[in-house]
Amino acid sequence: MHRSIRRNLALVPFALVLISPAARGAEADALPAAVRNANAQLLSQFFAQGVSPAVLEYRRKLAEYQAARAAFDAEAGAYWSQISEKRKTRNAKRRNGQQITLDDYVLEHPPLYAGPKRPVTPEPEETPERPPRKPIPVVADFLRAAQELYQFTPQRPSSELEFKRAYARYALANGLTREQAVRVYSFETGGTGSYDVQAGIEHGGKRAISTAMGYNQLLTTNSVELLAEQGHELIRALSEKVARTSGPARHALEHKLAVLKKMVAHAKSVPDTWSEHEKIGNTPQGWAMHAMVLDVDIGPMLQTHKLLTSVLFARAKGYTRPLSAAELEMMNLTGDGTGLDMVTMPQAMREKVPTSNFFQRGGYERNPVAIRHNTVAKLLAVTDDRMDVNSGKPGARELAAAF
Residue 217 has pLDDT above 80, yes or no: yes
Distance between CA atoms of residues 364 and 347, nearest Å: 22
Cβ(347)–Cβ(380) under 8 Å? no
Pick the CATH number of 139-402 from 1.10.3720.10, 1.10.530.10, 3.40.50.300, 1.10.645.10: 1.10.530.10
pLDDT of res. 320: 86
- Closest among 364, 362, 340 to 354, alpha carbons compared: 364
Cβ(230)–Cβ(242) under 8 Å? no
Q: Across the chain, what does the average pLDDT equal?
A: 87
Cβ(110)–Cβ(80) under 8 Å? yes
Residue 31 has pLDDT above 70, yes or no: no
Percentage of the chain exceeding pLDDT 70 = 87
Distance between CA atoms of residues 295 and 249, nearest Å: 15
Q: How confident is the model at residue 33 (pLDDT cuts 50, 70, 90)?
A: low
Q: Taking each helix axis as running N to C, give the angle between helix 220-243 and helix 274-281, from 0 to 180 degrees, rounded to the nearest 10.
A: 80
pLDDT 10s digits, 166-178: 999 999 999 999 9
pLDDT 10s digits, 121-156: 887 777 777 778 888 999 999 999 999 999 999 999
Distance between CA atoms of residues 286 and 102, nearest Å: 42
Spatial CB neighbours of 9, under 8 Å, sequence gap ≥ 6: none
Cβ(383)–Cβ(330) under 8 Å? yes
Percentage of the chain exceeding pLDDT 90 = 70
Mean pLDDT of 1-24: 40
pLDDT of res. 28: 45
CA angle, residues 362, 213, 182, in degrees to nearest 5: 95
pLDDT of res. 13: 39
pTM to 2 decimals?
A: 0.79
Residue 3 has pLDDT above 90, yes or no: no
Q: Taking each helix axis as running N to C, give the angle between helix 53-95 and helix 33-49, from 0 to 180 degrees, rounded to the nearest 10.
A: 120
- Which of the residue ranges 30-39, 102-111, 126-135, 280-289 would you say has the lowest mean pLDDT? 30-39
Residue 88 has pLDDT above 50, yes or no: yes
pLDDT of res. 32: 55
pLDDT of res. 22: 42
Q: Three-class SS of residue 327?
A: helix
Mean pLDDT of 99-113: 94
Domain spans, the chain: 2-104, 139-402
Residue 20 has pLDDT above 60, yes or no: no
pLDDT 10s digits, 48-60: 456 688 888 999 9
pLDDT 10s digits, 189-214: 999 999 999 998 877 778 889 999 99
For residue 156, give Cα distances in angstroms to 153, 161, 194, 310. Answer: 9, 12, 12, 27
DSSP 375: B
Widest Cα–Cα separation across the chain: 105
* CB atoms inside a 10 Å sphere around CB 256: 21
Residue 5 has pLDDT above 70, yes or no: no
Distance between CA atoms of residues 271 and 343, nearest Å: 29
